[in-house]
């Protein structure tokens, strides 16, 4: 029998306390969707070497694909550049995707790593713009379908 494709899931959506405040974003719809499927929790910000809790970061301009090519940075509120950590974390998740043959990722909406379609604009004013987080952008570039919990 063919192996079922793996689904990557933002670990915070599954109740893992890895978000920047040290909490989680447990989502029942996500749990219900994956419970009978082959899934792997992932947290790119932790894989990038960041701690929990940590300062909430945003992408200058909100577009993760521009971070990946070095055009813009991911910054913390005090201006600290964490682009390297975000890129490393995304690359580690891509490695997991390749190892497991993942074809779909269900990621946390609006996050500078995991967001898909909309992210915050980098001014720390809760303003959303069109764009993907750094991980979402990298997965899309590698042919992996990305959804958020809001799409379920």
Name the residue with the smallest CB distance to ligand SF4: 12
CA 127 to chain centroid, in Å, comes to 18
30 binds ligand SF4, rule: CB under 6 A: no
Site for ligand SF4 in 79-138 (CB under 6 A): 108, 111, 113-114
Number of residues lying near ligand SF4 (CB under 6 A): 12
Q: Which of 6, 7, 8, 10 binds ligand SF4 (CB under 6 A)?
A: 10
Output the smallest distance, CB 106 to ligand SF4, in A: 10
Among the listed ranges 7-15, 63-71, 96-104, 142-150, the one in contact with ligand SF4 (CB under 6 A) is 7-15
105: left (phi over 0), alpha (psi -120 to 50) or beta: beta
CA distance 26 to 41: 12
Using a 10 angstrom Cβ sphere, with 0-12 exposed, 13-18 middle and 19 or more buried, the burial of residue 152 is: middle
Binding mask 41-70 for ligand SF4 (x = CB under 6 A): --xxx-------------------------
Phi/psi at 42 (nearest 5 deg)? -135, 145
Sheet architecture: strand order including 104-107? 39-42, 7-10, 104-107, 145-148
12 binds ligand SF4, rule: CB under 6 A: yes
Q: Are strands 39-42 and 7-10 parallel, antiparallel or unpaired?
A: parallel
Binding region for ligand SF4 (CB under 6 A): 10-12, 18-19, 43-45, 108, 111, 113-114
């Amino acid at each position: 029998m063919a192996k079922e494709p793996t689904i990557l899931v933002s670990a915070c959506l599954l109740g893992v306390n890895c978000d920047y405040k040290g909490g989680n974003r447990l989502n029942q719809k996500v749990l219900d969707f994956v419970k009978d499927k082959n899934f792997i929790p992932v947290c790119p910000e932790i894989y990038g070497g960041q701690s929990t809790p940590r300062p909430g970061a945003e992408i200058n301009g909100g577009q993760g694909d521009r971070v990946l090519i070095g055009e813009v940075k991911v910054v913390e509120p005090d201006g600290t550049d964490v682009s390297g950590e975000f890129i490393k974390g995304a690359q580690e998740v891509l490695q997991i995707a390749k190892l497991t043959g993942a074809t779909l990722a269900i990621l946390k909406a609006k996050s500078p790593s995991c967001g898909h379609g909309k992210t915050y604009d980098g001014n720390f004013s809760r303003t959303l713009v069109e764009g993907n987080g750094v991980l979402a952008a990298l997965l899309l570039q590698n042919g992996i379908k990305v959804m958020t919990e809001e799409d379920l």
